Structure 1
Amino acid sequence: MSQARAVRFDEYGGREVLYIAEFPVPEPAPGEVLVQVRAAGINPGEIAIRSGAMRERFPGPLPSGQGSDLAGVVAGLGEGVTDFAIGDEVLGFSWKRSSQATHVVVPANQLIAKPAGLSWETAGSLYVVAATAYAAVRAVDPKPGETVAVSAAAGGVGSLVIQLLRMRGVRVLGIASAANDGWLTGYGVVPVRYGDGLADRLTAAAPDGIDAFIDLFGPQYLRLAVERGIPRDRINTIISFAEAAELGTKAEGSIEASTREVLSEMAELVESGKLEFPIAATFPLDKVRDAFAVLEQRHTHGKIVLIP
């Protein structure tokens, strides 16, 4: 194929600014790999970037591509790359907002071999949520028998966070809507409904106190955690960076865990079945607007994936 296709946007805005562009298949530079993409996940953070809400923290030139998660087949090798061969199946990540495409070049050190037991959909949507969940759990250093509260516990990152915590023998309070009670209970999590009166419900669920707090939603939860006297070095957010700096809490996410070692560990946990990683829906590349329409409803359990 001499032409590649990719999701693009020329200006900040809603999903209506997204379109599919055609361009020559890129050539890998030294140290890079050309991947023919089989699957690429979409993530809520991409909505914030595309809308312009994150332009100060994550500036970038326009027009812009989109996407970090990817899995596919090696189609070209740059000079000096010895870890992979043409035809290898790989998964990994791009830091250039470029994975939602038919072809993408990425540094070889941002790819790992795709485990045979992972579907393309799973492999192609793993990186962001896996690295984020890993970093968030590591940041609060949970110990067996402790109680940890998690906001947005039923979301994409939350679903992995609660499982990682349970694997460590932690009692988890999962903050979410009442509609998620049964789903959370199925993972051994104590559901706690968000909204007015949350502080009282947390006290009722954990009368002896909460040891750590993982925020996956917004600043109100950071303030609540601080007000409850949880040590600030055991409060972590993946989203409220300004408030974390103001309050002195942690703000560790995917960037802090973007390594081959972490990605390999999480891929093996999913392949073995120790971590459940559901796929909610798949869309062809040219239906990217429809995919984000579903994501923006925030009601899916599992990843939404583009299939180029």
Structure 2
Amino acid sequence: MPHAVKFSQFGGPDVLELVPMTRPVPADGEVVVEVMAAGLNPAETAVREGRYQSEYPLTFPVGQGSDFAGFISAIGSGVTGWAVNDAVFGHTILASHANFVVVPAGNILHKPDHLPWEVAGSLFVAASLAWNAVADANPAAGQTVLVHASAGGVGWIAAQLARLRGATVIGTASPSHFDHLRQIGVIPIAHGPDLTERLAALAPGGIDFELDHNASPSLVTIDSTDERALAQVAVMVANHQISVPVAAIYPLGQVQDAYRELEAGHAHGKIVLSMLPVGYAHQKVHAVDIRASEAMKDDPNRAPYPHTHEALPPVLGHRRGQPHPHYVEGDID
């Protein structure tokens, strides 16, 4: 039986419950997606804790999750350009942590064949915000960009997008993330006192643009109509032009543990729920390129880590590029 994550009161991860769900039926202009992977975002924690109740009132019970990737399982009338079994990634509001999600057709994009499910399922929110931040700043080659929280999901992608434009990127982060930032060509600098003076030493010519993306809950500020930009980011990730590290993968039933790790604030990379996890004990999986670094001393001269695509076991989630078995053998039990 399919399930969805819900909560019926504000609070910590303990209020999250896995409840049976009825497979949704698409209305006009909608599609139903069987979710393979779904990412976690800090804004979801803020909403679950009631911090945005005055701006975005909720009526319990409430779903959970924004990002997702999966296969189209049903198409509503009036939808063109899509077919059942198409592999997609997309965005919804408080609903992606489930076996099925129904969304407007404009909320999904084709998943590139070589983009892992675990990365695709955590990409939409961070990529949207990062792309918009860099596009608004529009840095050019030779300019210097300061990216705040550059080791976070949005800042990590924004820093790489700015570097691809030829800009020098300085990123604020805790010292434990300095090595990760050097791996993508970002000059790290610690949060804290005397930041202005320390920045002046790193960038004597000054900072041309400053990107700070910590203002509002991302799950309600996404413009899902900017398909070209998001599709371009997805291709860049699939082609290894941009890295999106995955810190941990949990099965849907361990969503509470997944949010506990997210809220601890120590993970570098996205935390993802897998809906069809490989069946072995202690399902949580750490990508080699992230966790291996935690046992090593920070070294500016270290060789780059392998790409997440190479570090993640290929059996996770679902076989990439293969037809979805459910639409040959039957629905989820």
Q: How many pairs are equivalent?
A: 274
Percentage of identical aligned residues: 43
Matched, 1:73 2:71: yes
Matched, 1:240 2:215: yes
The separation in 2 between residues aligned to 1:83 and 1:307, in whole angstroms, is 27
Change (3 A) 1:214 1:298: same
Gaps of 5+ in 2: 276-333
Which residue of the partner structure matches residue 150 of structure 2? 153
Question: Are the aligned partners of 1:131 and 1:254 in contact in 2 as well (CA < 8 Å)?
Answer: no
Question: Are the aligned partners of 1:135 and 1:257 in contact in 2 as well (CA < 8 Å)?
Answer: no
Structure 1 position 88, deviation (Å): 1.5
Which stretch has the larger CA shift, 282-291 or 192-201?
A: 192-201
Matches within 5 A, 1:59-138: 59-95=57-93, 97-138=94-135
Which residue of the partner structure matches residue 246 of structure 1? none
Post-superposition CA distance 1:33-68 (Å, at most 9, x none): 111111111111111111111223333322110111
Structure 1 counterpart SS, 2:179: helix
Which residue of the partner structure matches residue 163 of structure 1? 160
The separation in 2 between residues aligned to 1:278 and 1:294, in whole angstroms, is 15
The one-letter code matched in structure 1 to 2:214 is I
Post-superposition CA distance 1:270-291 (Å, at most 9, x none): 1111111111111011100100
The one-letter code matched in structure 1 to 2:23 is V
Change (3 A) 1:156 1:258: farther
Change (3 A) 1:53 1:211: same
The separation in 2 between residues aligned to 1:93 and 1:181, in whole angstroms, is 30
Matches within 5 A, 1:204-215: 204-215=201-212
2:49 to 48, 51, 66: 51
1:305 to 268, 272, 275: 272
Matched, 1:179 2:176: yes
The one-letter code matched in structure 2 to 1:152 is A
**4+ long deviations beyond 6 Å:** none
Post-superposition CA distance 1:160-184 (Å, at most 9, x none): 1111111011111111112222222
The one-letter code matched in structure 1 to 2:235 is E
Question: Are the aligned partners of 2:107 and 2:224 in contact in 1 as well (CA < 8 Å)?
Answer: no
Question: Are the aligned partners of 1:144 and 1:169 in contact in 2 as well (CA < 8 Å)?
Answer: yes
The separation in 1 between residues aligned to 2:204 and 2:129, in whole angstroms, is 29
Structure 1 counterpart SS, 2:2: strand
Structure 2 counterpart SS, 1:181: helix
The separation in 1 between residues aligned to 2:77 and 2:216, in whole angstroms, is 38
Computed over aligned residues only, the root mean square deviation of the Cα atoms, in angstroms, reads 1.8
Which residue of the partner structure matches residue 315 of structure 2? none
Which residue of the partner structure matches residue 228 of structure 1? none
For normalisation by structure 2, the TM-score amounts to: 0.78
The separation in 1 between residues aligned to 2:224 and 2:150, in whole angstroms, is 20
1:292 to 259, 267, 282: 259
1:265 to 227, 232, 235: 232
Change (3 A) 1:257 1:106: closer
The separation in 2 between residues aligned to 1:21 and 1:177, in whole angstroms, is 38
For normalisation by structure 1, the TM-score amounts to: 0.84
Structure 1 counterpart SS, 2:36: strand
Gaps of 5+ in 1: 216-237, 243-250
2:38 to 37, 40, 43: 40
Structure 1 position 206, deviation (Å): 1.5
